[in-house]
Amino acid sequence: MEENKLLERITINPKIFGGKPIIRGRRLAVEHILGMLAAGDTFNTILEGYSWLEYADIQACLIYAHKLVAHERIEPLTMKTAV
């Protein structure tokens, strides 16, 4: 599925979680799925926990995160050198 089509699965509703990105208007935040993946959960484990969730929803979360990080500005650490 095309990235833009997948990203349509990520929505924002000011009435749900204070406007955080959620999956298909439901009460499941993108950050929750990303946290589960970061903790080592597999796609299958996540899908088993949420019967309505689809593989493409998890893909959409990863694409969303990638897009955010790609535009993030990184300030390099400045280190003093001995003279």
Please name each of the domains of the chain with its CATH number.
Answer: 3-70 (1.10.10.10)
Cα–Cα distance, 5 to 23 (Å, whole number): 13
Residue indicated by tokens 């000011």 = 14
DSSP letters spanning 23-61: ETTSS-BHHHHHHHHHTT--HHHHHHH-TT--HHHHHHH
Residue indicated by tokens 């535009």 = 71
Share above pLDDT 70 across residues of the chain, in percent, rounded to a whole number: 86
pLDDT tens-digit profile of 11-36? 999 999 999 999 999 999 999 999 99
Cα–Cα distance, 61 to 32 (Å, whole number): 10
pTM for the whole structure: 0.84
